[in-house]
Amino acid sequence: MNDQTTAHTAQLRPAHPTFREAFLYWLKLGFISFGGPAGQIAIMHQELVEKRRWISEHRFLHALNYCMLLPGPEAQQLAIYIGWLLHRTWGGIVAGVLFVLPSFFILAALTYVYLVFGDLTFVQGVFNGIKPAVVAIVAFAAWRIGSRALKNYVLWAMAALSFIAIFALKIPFPYIVLAAGLLGALGGKLMPDKFKVGGGHGASNKQYGPALIDDDTPPIAHTRFRWSYLITLLVVALALWTAAMLMLPAGTLNDMGEFFTKAALVTFGGAYAVLPFVYQGGVEHYQWLTGTQMIDGLALVQTMPGPLVMVASFVGFVGAWTKEIFGPDALLLAGFAGASVATFFTFLPSFVFILAGAPLVESTHGDLKFTAPLTGITAAVVGVILNLALIFSWYVFFPHATEVAPFSGGFEWFYALISVAAFIALWKYKQDVIKVIGACAAIGLVHTYIV
């Protein structure tokens, strides 16, 4: 009876997808991955776990929990992980590249339109409505992360300290992350009960039928840890990074290479954690773009497929265009070069993290937990994101103010009301981000033409 059951189960398992089948799926995902990290993970779960059954629920969540521990875009990293499980290293590379590639070209085209035609009344009207929506989205992100991460007074205090550090003391984001990690490590030893946080997505008992890579699937040969593979991977990655940096001319592009490498390595705490760091570097330090343009870029990225971290590509495009790195007659080429540099250096570490770490993760199928340092970092990120929401609201609600006179020029009450309505739609009525942005864009367009 057991043999019959085993045979029947084996027949029910889906066939291993060919490389071409997987390629077409990852390409499709690159065009439909709307909704930010949560939406993208949900899309992959529905397709890969429930429908195609290429991977089981438990193995999917096991991989996701590892990605949640890393800096960078967790949804893209999850795609790399599953692509690697299915088709080795090249499978992971293809999955990760195709997750980003469609949004890269779409964003480059939209950024060009934004820079060239941004003065048109129609375009201004649309952005007038989207900007207050972005304020609400970032504020909602701070609330959502805070409601999950700040479980006691110690973590609340760390969030408050991080807010004061970046808002009042202007301490750079990486130093805040480092301090939060050290405090978290110390707190984990002195007050372990205050820093106990379960894995981001936990285990699940949902069953969708036997999966190709199931809970009881024996370890696949290529998933075993090998020192030779790890060393080769690190050498190749370092060579790629070094070669790319050496090819970049001194100045803006070289600065972008260094800056976005740092951004990729320090942005713990989810997709929104990258925004404060990029804002501090791109707007305040290098002055590649203005604060208003940063809001516009985030608005564009929110309406597109692909990871939120693609805002780095927008910053790269606008920065190289603004600096006219190839002269005033080659602005499009400059923008495309800046976007390419920002994208390459932002996403390269994600491939290294997954392809190097996944064999170690596969050596055990126990659920991963957030470490105490990561718990501290996540708490600090809440304060940092709240600061970003305040900065964005200042640009939107006091558009004519200056740093010398921060509340001059009049208060835009209409756009403040849009922000409040958008926040309520996201928070109370659980509305989709794309729908909220679309509604706000329509309201802003009508208001602009009427006024």
Task: Give the tens place of pLDDT for each residue, 414-426.
Answer: 999 999 999 999 8
What pLDDT shows up at residue 10?
Answer: 47
| Residue 169 maps to a domain | yes
Q: Give which of 134, 103, 422, 111 is closest to 298, Cα–Cα.
A: 134
What pLDDT shows up at residue 347?
Answer: 95
Tokens of 84: 């690697």
| Residue 132 maps to a domain | yes
| Residue 48 maps to a domain | no
Cα radius of gyration (the chain): 23
| Residue 210 maps to a domain | no
**If you average pLDDT over every residue of the chain, what do you get?**
86
Q: Where are the alpha helices (DSSP H) in 34-193?
A: 36-44, 57-69, 74-117, 121-149, 153-167, 173-190
| Residue 422 maps to a domain | yes
Tokens of 354: 């997954």
| Residue 175 maps to a domain | yes
pLDDT confidence tier of residue 38, bands split at 50, 70 and 90 = low
- Which residues, in sequence order, are bridge partners of residue 213? 55
Q: Are the C-beta atoms of 368 and 81 separated by less than 8 Å?
A: no
pLDDT confidence tier of residue 73, bands split at 50, 70 and 90 = confident
% of the chain residues with pLDDT over 90: 47
Residue 150 gets the label, from left (phi > 0), alpha (psi -120 to 50) or beta, of beta
Q: How many domains are contained in the chain?
A: 1
Tokens of 399: 């558009």
Q: Read off the pLDDT of each residue in 255-281 and give the average, rounded to a whole number.
A: 84
pLDDT tens-place string over residues 105-155: 999 999 999 999 988 889 889 889 988 988 888 888 788 778 877 889 999
| Residue 317 maps to a domain | yes
Tokens of 447: 């208001």
pLDDT at residue 170 is higher than 90: no
Residue 382's domain comprises 120-204+234-450
What pLDDT shows up at residue 421?
Answer: 97
pLDDT tens-place string over residues 330-384: 999 999 999 999 999 999 999 999 999 998 877 655 433 445 787 888 788 888 8
